[in-house]
Amino acid sequence: MKQCPHNIYIHIPYCKSKCRYCAFFSHACAEPDWEDYTDSICKEVAFWASKLNHCTVPTIFFGGGTPSLIPQKYMCQILRTIRQSFLVVGDAEITLEANPATIDENKLRDFQDMGINRLSVGVQRLNDKELQFLGRAHDTRDAIELINTAQDLKLRVSADFIYGIPGDTEKTVANMCHQINNLGLTHCSLYELTIEENTPFGKMNLNMPSNDEMAIMYQTISSNLELPRYEVSNYATPENQCVHNSNIWNGEPYIGIGQGAAGRILIDGVWYEEKGNAEIFNPLTEKERAIEKILTGLRTIRGCQLTQDVKNVIDIDWVKNHPQYIQISDDTICATNDGMLILDNIITNVVK
């Protein structure tokens, strides 16, 4: 039976070294057994291709970890296997997450020749002392160089940044936004620093900004960044929004491949939760899936479509009584600016 299109996320869980705030699933190992890891990815690709009857693939996203570490030969093998196994659309968005000082112009060109057309660069800060504090394995010059090289190659370029580090104020965040404006990016993401247990920062008793200060910094970003916000942490011109993430936030299915990946698969009308291991995937109830759609939809400016499954689980009375947080129209619910700030707290009220 024909299956609907699935986006593909490939997780590459290796980094040169561990950043001091990082709680992601990643190993500090710049030279892993690439052959072995590539083989396991290709096996998962083949498994899902047969389960999903070689369906259409609109986007592929290589996330990490540091996917830019993967040697050309293995990237080529993975992309070839995906193309042989699925129907990858001609204009598919294919994104690579890259860390500065892990990829040069030649490697970037090779990746571009293989079909990578979007680069997401982990910059985090544009100040060497702050980069050292975060434990990043690059300096500001490396980051700007990679952005410029990718822009010269006409790749679509995004960059990730962190705000809310100790010492940050409205002014330092505004300055960072002005620096970002000067990079000529068409997409960027700004994430609040959160301190996770079991990370070096988690053991350091850092003097973090208060919640109120963080909220002010968040508002400072939208008033100083030239790119408009389209999701809680993402900013872009309308034509440069990330198609892969937008599809997922809109509730489309995606396959997660690799050690730390997760996916949401749709087979014959039934949704499954999948955790980067082709052998294990569990059915989700309609209610569980509808709640996920609300959670991701409300993070976007576009909001969440009021389809029947969504209507069945939202508390319409609570939503109508809290227009300061959620706006409701005939076919959509959207979080307001204030709502976005406290989304995690109000979601339990939005859902019955």
Interface with ligand SF4 includes 100 (CB under 6 A)? Answer: no
CB of 202 to ligand SF4, least distance (A): 14
Q: Could you tell me the smallest distance in angstroms from the CB atom of residue 106 to ligand SF4?
A: 22
Q: Give alpha helix (H) positions in 153-193.
A: 170-181
Q: Find residue 126's DSSP bridge partners.
A: none
Q: Which is nearer to ligand SF4, 133 or 272 (CB)?
A: 133
Residue 209 found at the interface with ligand SF4 (CB under 6 A): no
Query: How many residues touch ligand SF4 (CB under 6 A)?
Result: 11
In the bound state with ligand SF4, the residue whose beta carbon lies nearer, of 138 and 289, is 138
Both tokens of 258, joined, read 């690799």
**Residues in 61-80 that interact with ligand SF4 by CB under 6 A:** 64-66
Binding part of the chain for ligand SF4, among 17-25, 36-44, 68-76, 183-191 by CB under 6 A, reads: 17-25
Q: Which is nearer to ligand SF4, 22 or 290 (CB)?
A: 22
Q: How far is CA 247 from CA 120, 223, 250, 317, in A?
A: 17, 27, 5, 29
Minimum distance from residue 306 beta carbon to ligand SF4 (Å): 36
Residues 222-261 that bind ligand SF4 (CB under 6 A): none
Interface pattern 106-135 for ligand SF4 (x via CB under 6 A): ----------------x-------------
Beta pairing class for 7-12 and 281-283:
unpaired
**Separation of first and last alpha carbons in the chain:** 35
Strand order from edge to edge, sheet including 156-163 = 229-231, 234-236, 187-192, 156-163, 118-124, 87-98, 56-64, 7-12, 254-257, 263-267, 270-274, 281-283
Asked if 22 is part of the footprint of ligand SF4 (rule: CB under 6 A), the reply reads: yes
Q: Which one, 52 or 188, has the nearer CB to ligand SF4?
A: 188
3-state helix, strand, coil split of the chain in percent (to 5) is: 40, 25, 35
Q: How many CB atoms lie within 10 A of CB 292?
A: 16
CB of 176: closest distance to ligand SF4 in angstroms?
Answer: 18
State the minimum distance, in angstroms, from the CB of residue 19 to ligand SF4: 3
Distance CA 22, CA 19 (A): 5
H/E stretch holding 140: helix 140-152
- Which stretches of the chain bind ligand SF4, using CB under 6 A? 15, 18-19, 22, 24, 26, 64-66, 99, 122
